[in-house]
Amino acid sequence: MYGIRPELLDEFPEQYYCLEDYEKVAAKWCPGCGDHAVLGNIQKLCRDEQLNPAKTVFVSGIGCSSRFPHYMKTYGFHGLHGRAFPVASGIKWRRPDLNVFVITGDGDCCSIGAGAWIHAIRYNIDMTVMLFNNEIYGLTKNQTSPTSRIGTVSSTTPLGSVLPPIHPIQTTLGVSNVSFVAQTVDWNPPHLYATLKAAYKHKGFSFIHILQRCPKFQSGLVDQYTGNKENLYLLTGNDGVELSDSMKASFKNKVEHNANDIYAARTLAEQPDRIYLGVFYRNPEARRYDEYGASNLGFTVDQKISALNKELDKFAV
């Protein structure tokens, strides 16, 4: 007798999603742009976690990386500059059953979107946030961004920028009710994938700072860190990113870190010349605003309409 034994059929899912189920069109980023690597690893994560494309949504602001939703065969919202966080918060608030991902760049998040960013951290709504930091405005062709280093020569600072940059990890760790903060790089696929996975698994606002190569306008920016150079450190210890032993061994520099200790995390973030890869901080107990949303409190549609009408009746004349 050939075929699958009937008793095994129960173990097979009704539908299995392949990589092709998440791939839409070829991305139009420049050759060598770090965004390609993140896209590939996110599609792999979606496949490995078997995320239903009809229940997954990617939300972005404006910038090169914010083209991301166009390349995913899921739902997407390519929104206004700096406004990915309120849109994503509204989606998760109303539809807690959806997998929500946010794509934002350094200009999008740390400049025009900074207010929304700070409050999204505090609200701690369950979403996976990827900040692509290439330290430049790439889409609008080479302007100094809030994360550009002192001395950055661009079309807006032709003699070199003069202000110290915003450090996204430091900033995020400084906000009350912060829940998950990690850092990775686009040129190390195993670490990038493991970090995306850890962030996705965390319930709450999972913030990943991704050092992203922009060969078009910031060529050479990360040369001091690629190839496992001296300044790159792998964070090891409890509640970090899960890596194979061989992957860990491939890092020359390692630092033992307790990811539950916010003071230790802030101390690491303040060291300017070192890049730490892994989970800086994780607090699964932080309050999540989406847990207090009407959908999660179990109100029926009729109850919601009745409550809304009651409120509106207060303004009746």
- φ/ψ (deg, to 5) at 197: -65, -45
Position 215 contacts ligand SF4 (CB under 6 A): yes
Provide the minimum distance between the beta carbon of 108 and ligand SF4 in the complex, in angstroms, as a whole number.
12
Position 217 contacts ligand SF4 (CB under 6 A): yes
Which residues within the stretch 130-159 sit at the binding site for ligand SF4 (CB under 6 A)?
A: 134, 138
Cβ(281)–Cβ(178) below 8 Å = yes
Residues 6+ apart with CB under 8 A from 11: none
Name the segment binding ligand SF4 (CB under 6 A); options: 80-88, 123-131, 214-222, 259-267: 214-222
Site track for ligand SF4 across 159-198, x = CB under 6 A: ----------------------------------------
Position 103 contacts ligand SF4 (CB under 6 A): no
Q: Which is nearer to ligand SF4, 190 or 215 (CB)?
A: 215
Q: Which is nearer to ligand SF4, 64 or 131 (CB)?
A: 64
Q: Which residue has the tokens 């230790």?
A: 264
Task: Please select the residue that binds ligand SF4; options are 39, 57, 62, 64, rule is CB under 6 A.
Answer: 64
Provide the minimum distance between the beta carbon of 105 and ligand SF4 in the complex, in angstroms, as a whole number.
8
Cβ(164)–Cβ(236) below 8 Å = no
Site track for ligand SF4 across 10-39, x = CB under 6 A: -------------------xx--x-x----
Q: In what order do the strands lie in the sheet with 75-78?
A: 75-78, 56-60, 99-105, 127-133, 205-211, 180-185, 275-282, 232-236, 254-256
- Residue type, position 83, single letter: R
Size of the site for ligand SF4 (CB under 6 A): 11
Q: Which is nearer to ligand SF4, 138 or 165 (CB)?
A: 138
Provide the minimum distance between the beta carbon of 138 and ligand SF4 in the complex, in angstroms, as a whole number.
3
Q: What is the distance between the alpha carbons of residues 177 and 62, in angstroms, rounded to a whole number? A: 27
Position 69 contacts ligand SF4 (CB under 6 A): no
DSSP 247: H
Q: Which is nearer to ligand SF4, 174 or 215 (CB)?
A: 215
Q: Long-range contacts for 195-200 (Cβ within 8 Å, ≥24 apart)?
A: 195/241, 195/277, 195/278, 195/279, 196/38, 196/41, 196/42, 196/45, 196/128, 196/130, 197/45, 197/48, 197/49, 197/242, 198/240, 198/241, 198/242, 198/279, 199/128, 199/129, 200/45, 200/49, 200/99, 200/128
Provide the minimum distance between the beta carbon of 88 and ligand SF4 in the complex, in angstroms, as a whole number.
22
In the complex, which residues of this chain contact ligand SF4 (CB under 6 A)? 29-30, 33, 35, 64, 134, 138, 214-217
